[in-house]
Amino acid sequence: MPLERMAHVRPTAVAVVALFSLVLVLAGCGANAPIQSASVGSAPSAAASPVVSSTFTSDAFVVPVSFSLAGGWVVHHDLPGDIDLGRDDQGASTGADRAFTGGIQNAGIMDIGSTTVAGATKGDPNLPWPKDLYAWLKERPEFKPDPPQAITVGGRSATQIDADVSVPDGTKIELVCSKEPNCWLLDHNDRWRFVEVKDSDGSGVVWITNGIPAPGFDSYTQALDQLLGTLAFR
């Protein structure tokens, strides 16, 4: 009906006509439109958050390497003797012991050729990286190592050793040091992982991480395994 003709219809009639027209329109829509049934999961899911991942290529480390920083890894420093990394393990406990309970994971790769280890007793000079890592760990009274496991890292043969640490309160030993020097301290009870990738001439690298056996260490080793799965020697 043209709009100008509605001016001649009384308001009450207009309301009735409009209501009747609306009913017809709705009825027509109901007759012709397909019925969509709702079901669990039919609604479109929210877009997943993007996974931030980048490949780190060392500019300084004496052994040319690259690896992925997926999983929250951050490189703190890249030096000729070592690369230091860290990651914030989500869901970890908070407080003064955060770094030892799955909170902040530290890991590092060190050049075996320039890395030294602490002497047998306090005051002894540092020694070159041991030719037999497992034997050296067994000789250290602080460590109780598990048997070595043969693995592959970056396409090369490697040795993985996990070891429990038990030290008296107040212990502070600079156990493993790069030439810079940056040192791994032996100062509390926890569990360590060593991943040694050594060539026949004795050169190579060693990865180290540590953490409280539960929940920190299990989470830490999984994260390190993922990182090592991306490692490439260039």
pLDDT at 90: 56
pTM of the model: 0.73
Instruction: Decide if 90 contacts 215 (C-beta within 8 A).
Output: no
**Does 8 reside within a domain?**
no
The confidence band for 28, taking pLDDT boundaries of 50, 70 and 90, is: very low
**Does 42 reside within a domain?**
no
pLDDT at 167: 96
Least confident of 138-147, 185-194, 207-216: 207-216
In the chain, DSSP finds a helix count (H) and a strand count (E) of 3, 15
Mean pLDDT, the chain, rounded, equals: 79
Least confident of 15-19, 83-87, 193-197: 15-19
Q: Burial letters for 63-83: b for 16+ Cβ neighbours within 10 Å, e otherwise?
A: bebebbbebebeeeeebebbb
108-117: average pLDDT? 98
Structural domain count of the chain: 1
53-60: average pLDDT? 92
**Does 220 reside within a domain?**
yes
- Indicate the DSSP class of residue 114: G
d(CA 229, CA 153): 7
**Does 35 reside within a domain?**
no
**Does 34 reside within a domain?**
no
CATH assignment of the domain containing 67: 3.40.1000
Domain with 184 in it? 55-233
pLDDT at 68: 97
The confidence band for 53, taking pLDDT boundaries of 50, 70 and 90, is: low
Predicted confidence (pLDDT) at residue 18 exceeds the cutoff of 80: no
**Does 4 reside within a domain?**
no
